[in-house]
Copies of this chain bind each other. A is one copy, B any other.
Amino acid sequence: MRGNLFAVAVDLVVLTVRAGELVTLLVERTVPPFEGQLGLPGGFVLPHEDLTDTATRELVEETGLTLTSHHLEQLASFAAPGRDPRGRVLSVGYLALVPDLPDPQAGPGGAPSAWYPVADVKGLAFDHDTILAAGVERARAKLEYTTLAAAFCPPEFTVSQLRKVYEAVWGVTIDPRNFQRKVTSTPGFLIPTQQRVSSGRGRPAQLFRRGPATSLHPPMLRTDG
């Protein structure tokens, strides 16, 4: 077979919203290259794995996620010569959108990992700044024309929680009344439950769960924010 050989890794852009901020999971590298620097979680594809198997395995290992409401999609592959000083490594970037999770626990022998605000992240190992930027832009764009924002929320959530997801991912302030009107008038986006929660003032807020709709017509545009 012609062609030179590559190691193939999967690197994960895991995004969630914590305390009103878009955050991503980063791992401190404990071995060369880039020892001591932060990088995206990930690992090499094992002999019998397909790419999504590797991404799912790494996501579970890194977050302890029980894989119910998360969203996982392939972003793109990165293989510039020289991106890894050890030799040719192709990295398949994956984007995971998850609800707010407890702080990650490193497994036996695992590297320390933690959530970092996306706005503060730079200087990651390898070309991980580029992969992270691709993941953040994909998430920002998908919130415009899909219902994926709900993937950041717990199973039942308020319109205000959903709005704070949009505000955190896009880095904008959104008018609460316009937002309420838009999302509740989109068929199949939000299903009302019989529950209400009190936020401490005013009338207790209605709880919703995610409906069957996957796309938004009309879209919610960042420029409307």
- Interface range for A: 35 or more
Majority SS at the chain A contact face = loop
Neighbouring B residues of A43 by C-beta, 8 Å: 3
- Distance in angstroms between the alpha carbons of A2 and B46 in the assembled complex: 9
Asked if B79 and A4 make an inter-chain contact with CB atoms under 8 angstroms apart, the answer reads no
- Distance in angstroms between the alpha carbons of A52 and B145 in the assembled complex: 28
With A9-B3, A74-B76, A145-B145 as known contacts, state yes or no: A47 contacts B90, CB within 8 Å: no
Closest chain B residue, CB of each to CB of A45? B3
Asked if B86 and A1 make an inter-chain contact with CB atoms under 8 angstroms apart, the answer reads yes
Neighbouring B residues of A86 by C-beta, 8 Å: 1
Neighbouring B residues of A221 by C-beta, 8 Å: 217
- Distance in angstroms between the alpha carbons of A43 and B145 in the assembled complex: 35
Asked if A44 and B2 make an inter-chain contact with CB atoms under 8 angstroms apart, the answer reads yes
Closest chain B residue, CB of each to CB of A89? B1
Neighbouring B residues of A8 by C-beta, 8 Å: 3, 6, 8, 79, 90
Neighbouring B residues of A74 by C-beta, 8 Å: 76-77
What distance in Å separates the Cβ of A137 from its nearest Cβ neighbour in chain B? 14
What distance in Å separates the Cβ of A61 from its nearest Cβ neighbour in chain B? 15
Asked if B6 and A90 make an inter-chain contact with CB atoms under 8 angstroms apart, the answer reads yes
Closest chain B residue, CB of each to CB of A78? B51
What distance in Å separates the Cβ of A88 from its nearest Cβ neighbour in chain B? 8
Q: Which residues of A from 1 to 42 have beta carbons under 8 Å from B?
A: 1-9
What distance in Å separates the Cβ of A35 from its nearest Cβ neighbour in chain B? 15
Asked if A50 and B81 make an inter-chain contact with CB atoms under 8 angstroms apart, the answer reads yes
Which of B48, B50, B81 lies in contact with A47, CB distance below 8 A?
B81
What distance in Å separates the Cβ of A29 from its nearest Cβ neighbour in chain B? 14
Closest chain B residue, CB of each to CB of A48? B81
Closest chain B residue, CB of each to CB of A2? B44
Closest chain B residue, CB of each to CB of A93? B77
- Distance in angstroms between the alpha carbons of A49 and B3 in the assembled complex: 11
Instruction: Knowing that A1-B44, A3-B9, A3-B44 touch, tell me 11 more A-B residue pairs with CB under 8 angstroms.
Output: A2-B44, A3-B43, A4-B44, A5-B7, A6-B6, A8-B90, A49-B81, A50-B79, A50-B80, A74-B76, A90-B90
- A-B contacts, 7 of them at CB < 8 A, read A3-B7, A5-B6, A6-B7, A6-B8, A49-B81, A50-B79, A77-B92
